[in-house]
Amino acid sequence: MRKLLILGLLAALGTLPGSTLRQLTLDDMIRQSTIIVRGTVQPAAIQYHGSTIFSHYTIQVTETYKSPASSQSAASSINFGVPGGSLNGAIQRVAGAPILNVGQDYVLFLWTSKSGLTQVIGLSQGLFGVISTPGMAPTVMRAAAAEQTLNSAGQPVTTNDINMPLSALKTEIVNVLSAQGTQ
Query: Whole-angstrom Cα distance, residue 149 to residue 169?
Result: 23
129: phi then psi, degrees, rounded to nearest 5: -75, 140
Range of the domain at 169: 18-180
The total number of structural domains in the chain stands at 1
Residues in a beta bridge with 45: 56
The predicted pLDDT at position 22 comes to 79
**Do residues 68 and 34 make contact, with C-beta atoms less than 8 angstroms apart?**
yes
Query: Whole-angstrom Cα distance, residue 114 to residue 179?
Result: 26
User: Which tens digit of pLDDT belongs to each residue from 109-136?
Assistant: 999 989 889 999 999 999 999 999 999 9
- Sequence-ordered list of residues with C-beta below 8 angstroms from that of 106, at least 6 positions apart, any chain: 38, 39, 40, 41, 59, 100, 127, 128, 129, 130
What DSSP designation does 126 have? G
Query: Whole-angstrom Cα distance, residue 131 to residue 162?
Result: 13
**Is 86 part of any domain?**
yes
**Is 3 part of any domain?**
no
The predicted pLDDT at position 6 comes to 37
The predicted pLDDT at position 1 comes to 43
Q: Kindly give the confidence (pLDDT) of every residue in the chain, 183 residues in length, as a single tens digit, with 9 standing for 90 and above.
A: 444 333 343 344 444 445 667 789 999 999 999 999 999 999 889 999 888 999 999 999 999 999 986 554 567 999 999 999 999 999 999 989 999 999 999 999 999 989 889 999 999 999 999 999 999 999 999 988 888 788 788 888 888 889 999 999 999 999 999 998 765
- CA 66, distance to chain mean position in Å, is 15
Residue 68 belongs to domain with CATH number = 2.40.50.120
The predicted pLDDT at position 5 comes to 35
- Sequence-ordered list of residues with C-beta below 8 angstroms from that of 151, at least 6 positions apart, any chain: 23, 157
What DSSP designation does 18 have? P
Cα first-last separation, the chain:
57
Exposure class string for 73-105: b at 16+ Cβ within 10 A, else e: eebeebebbbbbbeeeebebebbbbbebeeeeb
The predicted pLDDT at position 44 comes to 83
Taking only Cα atoms into account, the Rg of the chain, rounded to an integer number of angstroms, comes to 18
**Is 41 part of any domain?**
yes
Query: Whole-angstrom Cα distance, residue 102 to residue 56?
Result: 12
